[in-house]
Amino acid sequence: MKPKILVTREVFDDVLEYLSQYFEVTSNQSDIPFDSETLASKLSDKQGAMITLTDRIDTLLLTRCPNLKAVCNIAVGYNNIDLEACRKANVMATNTPGVLDDTTGDFTWTLILATARRLTEAEAYLRAGQWDRWKLKQFLGLDIHHATLGIFGLGRIGQVVARRATGFEMKVIYHDVHRATPEIEQACRARFVSKEELLSLADIVTIHVPYSPETHHLIGKRELEQMKPTAILINASRGGVVDDAALIEALRSGTIAGAGLDVFENEPKFNPGFLELKNVVLAPHIASSSKATRHKMAMLAAENLVAALTTGKPPNLLNPF
C-alpha cells in the first residue's frame, strides 16, 4: 500500500502526477487554505505533507498526527515550522533553498527601481487621469547608479542582489551576524560594516535575513531614524523583520524617503496604514513568483517528500536527528 500524503495548497499538475507515482495523494487544487483545525484533521492519518508558508506546524498539530514522518515546505523560509517540535516528534522538515535565489534577487531589484523612481505612484497618477502636462520637477526620484547599496544578510539571496549592483556601478556594503568569506566579499564587491554604519551610509537598505526571534524587528523606529532621510528601505525577506507600524510612521513623517515591500507582518491582513502612503511600493509576497521558479520550488519540495519517505534522506533536511 502506498503511503498517504497531503498537499495543502494548489500545485502544478505534473508535480501531483510525480507524487502519485509514490503516494496516495490528497490534494487541495481548489486552493482554499486550511485553518489549523482542518489541517490537523486532514493530516491525522498521513505520513507526509507538502506544505506552504501559510501552514503552521507546531507541537499541537504534531500530537494529532501520529503517523507523520515528513513535512516539506514549498519555500526557503521555514519560520512556519517549529523544528524542535518536529525533532521531538521524529518528523523530518525540509525547505527549498537555491532554486529561488536568482528570481528573488531579480524581484528585489524590481522593488529597488520602482521605489527609487516612484513608479507605482506615478502610474497611479497617470491612471487617475491627472497627467495634464510635462513638468520639470515631476516625480523626482533617487538615482540608483553610483549610490550606496546596504545589504542586511549576505546569504544566497543577498549575494545575488549584491552581484546585480555592479551594472549600476554602486558601492556595496553589508552587515551579517557572520562575516562572509573573502571570496564571497570579492565576488560581491561588498564591504563588511556594522549595523549602524550600514544604516547611516546606505542610500538603499535591503533586507535578506531569515525571520527568527533574533531578527524580529531588526528594523524598528531606532534603526529607521539612523537612515538618511533620502534613503529607501526594501524588504523581500519576511514580515516581522521590519516593525511595520514604525515604518509607516517613518514614511509618513519623512524620516526616510520610501519603501518597497513584498512581505508584511500579519500577511495577508497587512497594516492598512500602508495604503494611505504614496511613498511605498507594495507587492503581495511574489518575489519568487516566476513560472519557472515556482515550478522548481514545488518539484523540489516533492522530491524532498519522496526521498524522506523512501530513503529517509531528503536533500534539504532542516532538522537532522
Q: How many residues bind ligand GLV (CB under 6 A)?
A: 6
Question: Stretches 71-79, 226-234, 243-251, 274-282: which one binds ligand GLV (CB under 6 A)?
Answer: 71-79
CA distances from 52 to 1, 27, 35, 201, 256 (A): 27, 13, 13, 37, 33
Out of 5, 25, 43, 75, name the contact with ligand GLV by CB under 6 A.
Answer: 75
| Cβ pair 168, 187 in contact under 8 A | no
Closer to ligand GLV by CB, 53 or 241: give it: 53
Question: Stretches 70-78, 149-157, 240-248, 266-274: which one binds ligand GLV (CB under 6 A)?
Answer: 70-78
d(CA 180, CA 192): 8
Closer to ligand GLV by CB, 90 or 266: give it: 266
Closer to ligand GLV by CB, 100 or 147: give it: 100
Q: Has 225 been annotated as catalytic?
A: no
Out of 68, 71, 72, 76, name the contact with ligand GLV by CB under 6 A.
Answer: 76
| Cβ pair 199, 223 in contact under 8 A | yes
Per this entry, what is the length of the chain?
321
Those residues whose C-beta lies under 8 Å from the C-beta of residue 304, and which sit 6 or more positions away, are 70, 72, 94, 96, 314, 315, 316, 317
Q: Has 294 been annotated as catalytic?
A: no
Identify the active-site residue in 117, 238, 294, 303: 238
CB of 72 to ligand GLV, least distance (A): 13
Q: Is 288 in the site for ligand GLV (CB under 6 A)?
A: yes
Query: Which residue is nearest to ligand GLV, using beta carbons?
Result: 77
Task: Give the angle 229-139-233 at the CA atoms, nearest 5°.
Answer: 35
Closer to ligand GLV by CB, 76 or 261: give it: 76
Q: Has 175 been annotated as catalytic?
A: no
Closer to ligand GLV by CB, 75 or 209: give it: 75
Out of 15, 100, 154, 224, name the contact with ligand GLV by CB under 6 A.
Answer: 100
CB of 96 to ligand GLV, least distance (A): 6
d(CA 91, CA 47): 9
CB of 147 to ligand GLV, least distance (A): 26
Residues 40-69 that bind ligand GLV (CB under 6 A): 53
Out of 48, 77, 153, 239, name the contact with ligand GLV by CB under 6 A.
Answer: 77
Closer to ligand GLV by CB, 254 or 315: give it: 315
Identify the active-site residue in 118, 164, 175, 285: 285
Q: Which residues are marked as active site?
A: 238, 267, 285
- Sites of contact with ligand GLV (CB under 6 A): 53, 75-77, 100, 288
